[in-house]
Amino acid sequence: MIDDTSLEFDMFEDIRRKLVEVFVREGRTRLEAEKIALYIVQGVRDVPKLLTILTEEEADAEILSALSSFLEDATALDKARMILLGLDHQDQS
């Protein structure tokens, strides 16, 4: 999140903290909750940038670059999904 503005960083940090608390209240360990929340925030942080670029008159290269960043970070959402579904431990058995 190096290129995020301070306001964006604060917003994503608030989201991460809120998700951690939700997951802890739902019975997850603090460590697992932190991991899931971090993956979710990582996975969605480029959504506003992508949406902004798609609603403006941008060159194809800029659109494709933003889309590429979004898709790269989308793998984090898959990691969060795997933990939430309990599938991340199956490979370790």
Whether 33 maps to a domain, the answer reads yes
Domain that holds residue 34: 6-86
Q: Mind listing the pLDDT tens digit for each residue in 60-72? A: 999 999 999 999 9
Whether 71 maps to a domain, the answer reads yes
Whether 42 maps to a domain, the answer reads yes
Whether 48 maps to a domain, the answer reads yes
Whether 92 maps to a domain, the answer reads no
Please tell me the predicted confidence (pLDDT) of residue 4. 60
Cα gap 34→51, rounded to integer Å: 27
Cα gap 87→61, rounded to integer Å: 37
- Looking at every residue in the chain, the average pLDDT score rounds to 89
Whether 49 maps to a domain, the answer reads yes
Residue 89 or 87, more confident: 87
Name the pTM for this structure: 0.80
Q: Into how many domains does the chain fold?
A: 1
Share above pLDDT 90 across residues of the chain, in percent, rounded to a whole number: 72
